[in-house]
Amino acid sequence: MKACPDCAELVLAAARRCRYCGYEFRPATPAATSAPPSASQFAFLLRRSEPHLTTTETLEQLGVKLDPGERLDGLWLARAYGSDGYVILTDARLLFAFGLRRAPGSPPPHQHGLGELAGAEVASRHWKSGLVLHWHGWPDMRIDGLAPKHLRQLHSALQTALTGGAR
């Protein structure tokens, strides 16, 4: 691998053009290849990622507090109400936390008790599947952007809640 001098992205050593910015690599002159690169020349390429948050830390960051005895059943990145955020399913309620982090002044998580759920169905729109939730006395909620595996997991968990936990 080698670093592109324009955008600093790593590309294959044999590449003649950077796939990120289009920079064209010229054949190296013999003088340029005589000195081996030092470790400090590559230090800027090392990116340190922040440690992953635990589920509890993620819920705290989103402003979601579980009630005593409430069990978390799932946490998914998705899109609802025209915003990206987290779908949080517990044994008692379904929440949608707007955004990937709770900023000051952002709306509180939107939530419904699972007792308010009237139905859940997988629906396709523009060749993409989403989950449509029907609530008693509330407008429908559409959840998009879930991977098919996660869509099936959430749908199955909600169907179980609808039937009262009977399988």
pTM of the entire structure?
0.64
Residue 166: the pLDDT is 45
The pLDDT score that the predictor gives to residue 167 is 39
Task: Domain ranges for the chain, please list them.
Answer: 1-48, 55-162
Domain 55-162: top CATH class:
mainly beta
pLDDT digit string (tens) for 89-126? 998 999 898 877 666 777 788 888 888 888 888 888 77
158/81 Cα distance (integer angstroms) = 19
> Could you tell me which residues come within 8 angstroms of residue 72 by beta carbon, excluding any fewer than 6 positions away?
55, 59, 66, 88, 89, 90
3-class secondary-structure state, position 95: strand
Share of the chain above pLDDT 90, in %: 3
